[in-house]
Amino acid sequence: MHMSDTLISPAVGAVMYAVSAGAIAYSVKKIKKDDLCEKKIPLMGLMGAFVFAAQMINFTIPGTGSSGHIAGGILLAAMIGCYPALLSMAAVLTVQCLFFADGGLLALGCNIFNMAVIPCLVIYPLVFKPLVKGGLAMGSISIASIAAVVAGLQLGAFGVALQTSFSGIAELPFAAFASLMQPIHFAIGLAEGAITAAILCFVYAMRPRNILVMFAVLALLTGGVLSQFASSYPDGLEWAIEKTTGTAWLEAQASAMETAITGVIGSVLAFLLAGACGLAIYSTTLKKVSKGSL
């Protein structure tokens, strides 16, 4: 669901930059000592690396000629908390934009809002947390994961349609475009919700002590190996544009070696940037607060 610069006007891009920057600043302010202790900073980086790698794997949506990939906002929020999750997602999207031309610099504010702010700051506290309030049973985790991911993608897809419409650059009638974006991202949401539920159920059930090692291995394996088996079908956004305009929107296909290298390098960069964000917040804010309370 990454938007490209070709869909966004400078005015809309600037507004969404401001909104996303405000959400990031709010998250930094709201992070508490328990949200980002020294032990959680590496996990914040590793989860960012894993989400980067996982986003490279497009899975086919049967019967549609489309594909989707996990966004990861709900997974991150459930693992490390909604405010650190927003920062980690913003780091992932920034790495994708600056180093791999995925999404575009003008559209970065839109992508952070649609894929990070909405799931982490809106859907996670309003949908996921209430549904697991009664306990962390596998059933409640699964229901909460699927419901939250679907809701997040529905709002995010609607945001894409609105931002594109307000930009007025692409010839995409709002009603027709939205009517295609919503159902295809509902299907994608069901698949991502099931994946999110499976990961969370495993983590909560097994409570592995070596969780950092586990996600480090998963990030490298996903980005370096599994990413080469991604679906060749266009993702939900590209599919909706093609169906609306009648023109295929194709991206150049990378070789297997290029995909593997991109996956590994991107995961490392996402780990470094997300981890650096957590370390900077801890060092400049939380550590001082902790010392002042002694």
Q: For residue 293, what pLDDT is reported?
A: 46
For 275-284, the pLDDT digits (tens) are: 999 888 888 7
Q: For residue 248, what pLDDT is reported?
A: 65
Q: For residue 185, what pLDDT is reported?
A: 95
Q: Would you tell me how many other CB atoms lie within 10 Å of the CB of residue 159? A: 21
Q: Beta strands of the chain (E only): which ranges?
A: 59-61, 66-68
- 225 or 271, which is more confident: 271
Q: Would you tell me how many other CB atoms lie within 10 Å of the CB of residue 106? A: 22
Q: Which residues pair with 118 in a beta bridge?
A: none
Name which of 170, 294, 135 is nearest 244 in CA terms.
170
DSSP for 139-176, please give it: HHHHHHHHHHHHHHHHHHHHHHHHHHHHHT-S---HHH
For 186-234, the pLDDT digits (tens) are: 999 999 999 999 999 999 887 777 888 899 999 989 888 888 788 888 8
Residue with the two structure tokens 């650096």: 276
- Give the span between the Cα atoms of 237 and 182, in whole angstroms: 10
At 134, is the secondary structure helix, strand, or coil? coil
Tokens of 138: 């596998």
Q: For residue 146, what pLDDT is reported?
A: 97
Is residue 173 within 8 A of residue 189, CB to CB? The reply is: no
Share of the chain above pLDDT 70, in %: 91
For 104-147, the pLDDT digits (tens) are: 899 999 999 999 999 999 999 999 999 998 777 889 999 999 99
CATH of domain 5-292: 1.10.1760.20
Ramachandran bin of 73, using left for φ above 0, alpha for ψ from -120 to 50, beta for the remaining angles: alpha
The phi and psi torsions of 239 (rounded to 5 degrees) equal -60, -45
For 5-60, the pLDDT digits (tens) are: 989 999 999 999 999 999 999 999 888 766 676 677 889 999 999 999 999 888 99
Above 60 in pLDDT, residue 83? Answer: yes
- 101 or 123, which is more confident: 123
Residue with the two structure tokens 């669901």: 1
At 247, is the secondary structure helix, strand, or coil? coil
Residue with the two structure tokens 């005015």: 11
Q: For residue 178, what pLDDT is reported?
A: 93
Tokens of 165: 């419409």
Neighbouring C-alpha atoms within 13 Å toward the C-beta of 235: 18
Tokens of 196: 């999110």
- 82 or 289, which is more confident: 82
Q: For residue 256, what pLDDT is reported?
A: 62
Q: For residue 104, what pLDDT is reported?
A: 87
Is residue 41 within 8 A of residue 275, CB to CB? The reply is: yes
Q: For residue 287, what pLDDT is reported?
A: 60
- Give the span between the Cα atoms of 223 and 219, in whole angstroms: 6
Q: Where are the domains of the chain?
A: 5-292
Q: For residue 112, what pLDDT is reported?
A: 97
Above 70 in pLDDT, residue 270? Answer: yes
Above 80 in pLDDT, residue 292? Answer: no
pTM tops 0.85: yes
At 59, is the secondary structure helix, strand, or coil? strand
- What average pLDDT does range 73-85 have in this prediction? 95
Q: For residue 294, what pLDDT is reported?
A: 43
